[in-house]
Amino acid sequence: MRALYIARSLSILTGSPIVALAGNPGVVTRSAFLSPDRLDVALARSFGVGDIIFVPETLDSDDESQQSARPIFALLEAALEEQRVPPSTLKSLRRICNHDGVQIGRAIQDTYMRSNLLPTLYGGHKLRAVIEDVSRLDAWAKGLFSRRPPFAFVSGHIDYSPWGLIMQRCMRAGGLGVYYRCDVRIPLYVLRRCRSGETLNGLLRRADAAAFSGYRRMCPLPANSANIRYTLDQGVAKNWRWTDHPGRTDGGQWPFDGNRPCICLFTHTFTDQPSADKSVFSDHLDWLEQTLEHAAKSGSYDILVKVHPLDGHFDLAGSISRLAAKHADAANIFFQVEPIAKETLAERCILGLTVRGTPGVEMSALGLPMLLAGRAYYDHLPSVSYAEDAHDYFSQIERAVRTGPAPKDVTIARDYAAFDRFWAAPYAPMVGPFNPHLDDSIQWTLAAAACSSTAFELDEVTAALQAAMTFDIQSDAVRAFNAPATSA
């Protein structure tokens, strides 16, 4: 629905026809299957979609796909059946691009993990199938865009196959990438070009930092506005991204005696795009394993592993259970599976760890300094630091343990949270707030009620897109937003 809405706005602004891509190519049947009976053609036509291109579920191998796959098979040929691919090999895989510069190695890593729900790569027929599927889809997309040059590709997803792959191909063919984040409102980005070696998420990161800096100059909102927005976000208007454990209540005893400083590590779901942007470690499992080994060997600090509420849904290997058993005798390591209040973590911990997850924003706004084992779109915040490599990562942990907690200034972090999710994100009542916990019937009722009052030519989404496409056209990427009202 959001993709259709944004595409309609783009069509009004540019006069370009709307063409939809549909289907379940290759591994998508396992990672994001769309049943044909759920494809609402009438709905698509009502938004102005004139043509629907169905991607074949099975794609043939050709010279183009074989050329892309060849260096990847050469790199991974030593990976034994069902044996874990070494972290050093995964880092080499990420660096592989095809001759057009498409980052096909990253796409293969993330696509394998998401489609098989495994925390890392293992050799064997499943890996070979993903390499072939991704390479063939990439070749198919290149052929499509050579025949039908695109103006833009609209997607709420820019990782793994097919979304990230097709957006890269669209931009290589001279089109724009238009990315919207699935949030309460509609954070929007217009991507024009990637620098050599830069990821799409790296582009978003640069655009976000520039937008927030410009926003603070143009719209100096008073601090109490950010505090009020933050209070609403944590209370009656809680953001869906802070995921609670269904049917559970917050509670439990603090697991440590308080004799050592405590660090909180917020796990990702292990299959959640570890190569989407720059990362210190080869994947999220490698990150957690090495961090726990450091904590166990050091013994100078406690580490509370805050397990992601949805962990079991996205890791069929049971990695958390395995690691918890391995470190069961370590007095300074505890796996927090049950819910625990954010405020408790901010009060009792000196530092938070993540790779690029939402807790980086959530906990910064509560005053907990955050260290990232990679890069994130919000890492320009002064309460967030990121590591360049493993040595830097562990050095920053050791420094925090020696020197104690850093000063906790929540002002800019709360300002950013309000900027990111509300003030600078356009909104369209017809698509409603993104919330996967709402029943579908409620979403459609809200959409139907807003339909008669919707005017694409006048709404926030169209205005934000128009501003983004005309503002600083030399920039590689722009975050689209409308300036809010301020007092004189």
pLDDT digits (tens, 9 = 90+) for 162-171: 888 999 999 9
What span, in angstroms and rounded, lies between the C-alpha atoms of 63 and 379? 41
Give the closest residue to 155 by CA, choosing from 147, 166, 144.
166
Q: What is the mean pLDDT of residues 225-235?
A: 63
Q: Are 432 and 446 contacting, i.e. CB atoms less than 8 angstroms apart?
A: yes
- Whether the per-residue pLDDT at 336 is higher than 60: the answer is yes
Give the closest residue to 72 by CA, choosing from 138, 27, 130.
130
Q: What is the mean pLDDT of residues 79-107?
A: 91
Give the closest residue to 242 by CA, choosing from 158, 342, 334, 159.
342
Break the chain down into helix, strand, coil percent, rounded to 5: 45, 10, 45
Domains, the chain, ordered by start:
1-219+427-488 (no CATH), 238-416 (3.40.50.2000)
pLDDT tens for 262-305 read: 999 999 988 888 888 999 999 999 999 999 999 999 999 999 99
- Whether the per-residue pLDDT at 249 is higher than 80: the answer is no
Q: What is the mean pLDDT of residues 400-405?
A: 90
pLDDT tens for 364-387 read: 989 999 999 999 999 999 999 999
Per-residue model confidence (pLDDT) at position 465: 93
Per-residue model confidence (pLDDT) at position 230: 64
pTM for the whole thing? 0.91
For the chain, the average pLDDT equals 87
State the residue for tokens 């790199």: 75
Give the closest residue to 365 by CA, choosing from 387, 346, 341.
346
Token pair, residue 67, equals 């050329």
Percent of the chain scoring above 90 in pLDDT: 57
In Å, what is the CA distance from 361 to each residue of 199, 368, 371, 410, 472? 21, 10, 11, 10, 27
Token pair, residue 426, equals 């356009």
Rg over alpha carbons for the chain, rounded to the nearest Å, is 23
Biggest CA–CA distance in the chain, Å, is 67
Q: What is the mean pLDDT of residues 133-161?
A: 93
- Whether the per-residue pLDDT at 236 is higher than 50: the answer is no
In this structure, the strands spanning 351-354 and 49-55 are: unpaired
Q: How confident is the model at residue 237 (pLDDT cuts 50, 70, 90)?
A: very low
